[in-house]
């Protein structure tokens, strides 16, 4: 449970004046951090206004003094999480590998908070930290000699790809959180594919092994490699 954090959610608060406030010191940052904790441990479905409020020992209505919307709260959570993604110092000689490493770093954080992609996918990045990451990706590509228009579009497409891959992972994570077993689930899928009619699905039935091959990271790496290879072909010729 997260009650260990709920008990004293108040660090040694620096009081603005003397005299202990009888009212609970709610704040925007505290709310966002609480929502982030719930997102990490219970997924997006666990993050409700009531749940966040409960964790802070209050009611849902109290949150609306600090946050206009649930959407706004979630956007703030996303950017806070984006702050955990490390930046890279551009090295022109290694720009392709650096770009991949940047994508991996983003994926690593994004899969830690498995459902953050459900919020970020499809939303235009406007938060401080998200912009810093886009800025970093642009710097790496420009150092590598990628044309401006290509670099600009690639930032968009690579962000979409990382989001989408994490989203896919979050769907499975949700299933497994509900008690499903991973091996059993994919075993069922495999057996279902194997049992299809070879006349109507000749390629699928003959490629079951290949279709099921590879862990999450391996498939992510494959897609990433596709995109960077394609990008490189815009630079060299």
Partner DNA sequence: CGTAGCAACGAACGCTGTTCGTCACCACTT
Partner DNA sequence: AAGTGGTGACGAACAGCGTTCGTTGCTACG
Site string for DNA, 1-40 (x = CB under 7 A): ---------------xx-xxxxxxxx--------------
47 binds, among DNA, its own copies, none (CB under 5 to 8 A by kind): DNA
Least CB distance to DNA at residue 25 (A): 6
Select the binding partner of residue 223 from DNA, its own copies, none (C-beta < 5 to 8 A, by kind). Answer: its own copies
- Closer to its own copies by Cβ: residue 7 or 210: 210
Closest residue by Cα to residue 79 from 123, 44, 43, 46: 123
The count of C-alpha atoms lying within 13 angstroms of the C-alpha of 235, restricted to the half-sphere facing its C-beta, is 18
Instruction: Judge whether 194 and 205 are in contact, CB under 8 Å.
Output: yes
Binding piece for DNA, criterion CB under 7 A, among 47-55, 137-145, 148-156, 164-172: 47-55
The least CB distance from residue 191 to its own copies, in Å, is 12
Integer CA distances (angstroms), 193 to 143, 204, 210, 212, in order: 46, 7, 12, 10
Residue 6 or 139 having the CB closest to its own copies: 139
CA gap 67, 94 in Å, rounded:
43
Residue 19: Cβ-neighbour burial (10 angstroms; 0-12, 13-18, 19+) = exposed
Q: How far is CA 87 from CA 26, 39, 165, in A?
A: 32, 24, 20
Q: How far is the CB of 157 from its own copies (least distance, A)?
A: 4
**HEC profile of 100-135:** HHHHHHHHHHHHHCCCHHHHHCCCCCCCHHHHHHHH
Cα(216)–Cα(218) distance, integer angstroms = 5
Residue 70 contact among DNA, its own copies, none, beta carbon within 5 to 8 Å by kind? DNA
* Minimum CB distance to DNA, residue 135 (Å): 31
Q: Which residues bind its own copies (CB under 8 A)?
A: 121-124, 126, 131-132, 134-135, 138-139, 142, 148-149, 151-157, 160-161, 163-165, 167-172, 189, 192, 196, 200-204, 207, 210-211, 213-214, 219, 222-223, 225-231, 233
Residues found near DNA in the complex (CB under 7 A): 16-17, 19-26, 47-51, 57-62, 64-66, 69-71
């Amino acid at each position: 449970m997260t009650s260990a954090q709920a008990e004293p959610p108040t660090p040694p608060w620096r009081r603005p004046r003397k005299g202990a406030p009888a009212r609970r010191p709610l704040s925007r940052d505290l709310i966002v951090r609480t929502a982030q904790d719930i997102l990490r441990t219970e997924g997006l479905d666990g993050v409700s206004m009531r749940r966040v409020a409960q964790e802070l020992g209050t009611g849902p209505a109290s949150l609306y003094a600090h946050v206009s919307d649930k959407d706004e709260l979630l956007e703030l959570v996303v950017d806070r999480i984006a702050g955990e993604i490390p930046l890279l110092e551009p090295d022109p000689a290694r720009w392709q590998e650096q770009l991949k490493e940047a994508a991996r770093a983003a994926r690593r954080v994004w899969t830690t908070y498995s459902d953050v992609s459900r919020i970020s996918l499809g939303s235009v990045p406007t938060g401080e930290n998200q912009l810093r990451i886009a800025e970093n990706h642009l710097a790496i590509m420009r150092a590598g000699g990628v044309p401006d228009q290509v670099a600009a579009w690639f930032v968009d497409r690579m962000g979409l790809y990382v989001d989408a891959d994490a989203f896919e992972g979050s769907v499975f994570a949700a299933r497994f959180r509900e008690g499903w077993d991973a091996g059993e689930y994919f075993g069922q899928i495999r057996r279902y594919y194997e049992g299809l009619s070879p006349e109507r699905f000749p390629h699928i039935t003959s490629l079951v092994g290949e279709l099921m091959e590879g862990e999450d990271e391996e498939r992510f790496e494959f897609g990433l490699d596709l995109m960077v290879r394609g990008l490189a072909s815009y630079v060299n010729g």
